[in-house]
Amino acid sequence: MQRPIYLDCHATTPVDERVLAAMLPYFRESFGNPASVGHLYGWEAESAVKLAREAIANSINATPEEIIFTSGATEANNLAIKGVAEAYHRKGRHIITLQTEHSAVLDPCGYLESLGFEITYLPVKSDGLIDLQELEMAIRPDTILVSVMAANNEIGVLQPIATIGQLCHERQILFHTDAAQAIGKIPLDVQAMQIDLMSLTAHKIYGAKGIGALYVRRRHPRVTLAPQLHGGGHERGMRSGTLYTPQIVGFAKALEIAIASQAEEEQKALTLRQHLWQKLSELESIRLNGHPKLRLAGNLNVSFRGINGQALMLALQTIVAISSGSACSSAKSAPSHVLKALGHTDELAYASIRFGIGRFNTLEEIEIVANHVVESVRSLRNS
Ligand SMILES: *Cc1c(COP(=O)(O)O)cnc(C)c1O
C-alpha cells in the first residue's frame, strides 16, 4: 500500500538525509560525553557541540554563550517564561502574550497564574495579526515580559517581531518569541529585531525530534533566568543534563541547509501553495484563515463551510496526512483556540484543515491532494 502524501510539515518534518549523515558519527565512534574533559571521546563530542553552537548562534546574530540547548521549543518556552517570572518577580508579576500562542506558551502562563502572576492574553485581529495598539495599552509598570510568537503553527501568520522588540525595549520589558515555526524559514536576527529570548526547535526544519535551544540575551540587557532543571550545571547552570551530541550536530546542519536554501524553498512552497489554493477555489464557501500574505510560504489553512474537518481527514487518510482545526494540540478535540481567536464559530473552526507544505513535496502531489479534497468536500456536503 502506498503511504499517504505528507502535508503536515507544521507538526514535524522528516530528517533530511544530509542531517542524518552528519549525526551518525556521533552515535557511533564519537559517542563521548561532551563534558568528559579527560579523553579523546569527550574532546570529539565537545568540539562538535562547540562548532554547532557557534553555527546556530551565528545564524541568528547571537554569540555562542547565548545559546542554551534544550529538548525542543516546549522546554525552551517553559525555561524562558517560568525562568523570567521566577527571576524578575520582584520587579513585577505581569506578563503579556497572545491568545493564539502555542500551548507550550499558554500553559506555562496558566501555571504562573496559579502562582499569582497576572497574564494578559491579547486578542488578535481577524487576520491573525497582533494589534500593536492593544499591546501598547496592555503594558503596565509591573509588566516584566512580552511573549509573542514569530510564526503561528496553525495559520502561519508572521507577527511584526522587530516592531514588538522595539516597543518592549523602549519600555525596558523583556521580549520572548517562540520561533519554532519561523526559524530557517524567515530571516531572524536577534539584534536587529531586539529579541531577548527566542525558542527554537530542530524537528520542524528536517532535524531530529528532541532537540532545540533557547537564545538568552547577554548584553543590553543581560537577561537572568531561574533554571528549571537542576543537576550537573551544564549550559552554565541554566539547563542541566548531558548534551545530546548527535541531535545538536544535526540541528546545526538542518539550520545551515534551511538558511542556505531559504529563498529557493520559499519560492517553491509559495508556488505549490498558490496552486493548491487555486484548485481548492473551485469549491464554494471556502475561506482562507490568516493573513493572505504575511504568512509562512508553506502554510494554507482553509475552512470548508458545512463540513467537519475530522470527517474530511478521515475520508482522505489514505491519500494525504493533514491536520484539522481541532487536532492541532495533541489528542485534544476541542475546536482550535487559534481559529476561535480569529472569531470563528466552533462549527467553522471544526470545518478547517491545515495544509503544511515542505521541502520534499511536489506539484504532482499537490495536484493529487487538491483533486481528492475537492471531490471529498463535494461528497461530504451532498451527504
Ligand atoms: C512545534 C512547536 C512547538 C513545540 O516544539 P517541540 O520542539 O516539539 O517541543 C512550540 N511552539 C510552536 C509554535 C511550534 O510549532
HEC per residue, 298-330: CEEEEEECCCCHHHHHHHCCCCEECEECCCCCC
Output DSSP code: residue 61.
T
233 and 206 in a common domain: yes
Residue 173, judged by CB atoms within 10 A of its CB (0-12, 13-18, 19+), counts as buried
From ligand 1's centre to the CA of 315, what distance in Å? Answer: 27
From ligand 1's centre to the CA of 354, what distance in Å? Answer: 16
Q: Is ligand 1 within 6 A of the CB of residue 74?
A: yes
Q: Is ligand 1 within 6 A of the CB of residue 179?
A: no
pLDDT at 380: 94
The arithmetic mean of pLDDT across residues 225-234, rounded, is: 94
267 and 223 in a common domain: no
Domain boundary among 259, 284, 308: 259
194 and 277 in a common domain: no
Q: Is ligand 1 within 6 A of the CB of residue 326?
A: no
Q: Which residues contact 201 (CB under 8 A, 6 or more apart)?
A: 72, 73, 76, 180, 183, 207, 211, 212
pLDDT at 331: 55
305 and 167 in a common domain: no
Distance CA 358, CA 268 (A): 9
CATH code, 329: 3.90.1150.10
Closest residue by CA, ligand 1 atom 12: 180
Angle at 198 between CA 193 and CA 202, to 5 degrees: 120
Q: Is ligand 1 within 6 A of the CB of residue 349?
A: no
Q: Is ligand 1 within 6 A of the CB of residue 324?
A: no
pLDDT at 283: 97
pLDDT at 108: 98
161, 176, 178, best to mutate for ligand 1 pocket (most atoms within 8 Å of CB): 178
77, 100, 102, 103, best to mutate for ligand 1 pocket (most atoms within 8 Å of CB): 102
* Per-residue model confidence as pLDDT tens digits over 100-140: 999 999 999 999 999 999 999 999 999 999 999 999 999 99
* Per-residue model confidence as pLDDT tens digits over 145-192: 999 999 999 999 999 999 999 999 999 999 999 999 999 999 999 999
141 and 28 in a common domain: yes
Mean of all residue pLDDT scores within the chain: 96
CATH code, 85: 3.40.640.10
Higher pLDDT, 280 or 383: 280
Distance CA 41, CA 45 (A): 6
Domain boundary among 234, 259, 284: 259
> What residues does 124 pair with on adjacent strands?
130
275 and 180 in a common domain: no
Domain boundary among 259, 279, 305: 259
SS3 label, residue 371? helix
pLDDT at 328: 47
From ligand 1's centre to the CA of 77, what distance in Å? Answer: 9
- Which atom of ligand 1 lies closest to the CA of 211? 7
213 and 67 in a common domain: yes
Q: Is ligand 1 within 6 A of the CB of residue 153?
A: yes
Count: domains in the chain: 2
246 and 115 in a common domain: yes
Q: Is ligand 1 within 6 A of the CB of residue 207?
A: no
362 and 272 in a common domain: yes
pLDDT at 1: 75
- Which atom of ligand 1 lies closest to the CA of 11? 1
Q: Which domain holds residue 269?
A: 5-13+262-382
pLDDT band of residue 333 (cuts 50, 70, 90) is: confident
* Per-residue model confidence as pLDDT tens digits over 196-211: 999 999 999 999 999 9
368 and 220 in a common domain: no
pLDDT at 314 over 80: yes
Distance CA 369, CA 316 (A): 9
58 and 43 in a common domain: yes
Nearest to 275 by CA among 253, 246, 305, 298: 298
pLDDT at 325 over 80: no
Q: How far is CA 56 from the centre of its chain?
A: 16
The arithmetic mean of pLDDT across residues 339-357, rounded, is: 95
* Per-residue model confidence as pLDDT tens digits over 67-106: 999 999 999 999 999 999 999 999 999 999 999 999 999 9
SS3 label, residue 172? coil
Q: What percent of the chain has pLDDT over 70?
A: 98
pLDDT at 324: 87
Catalytic, 328? Answer yes
pLDDT at 281 over 80: yes
252 and 175 in a common domain: yes
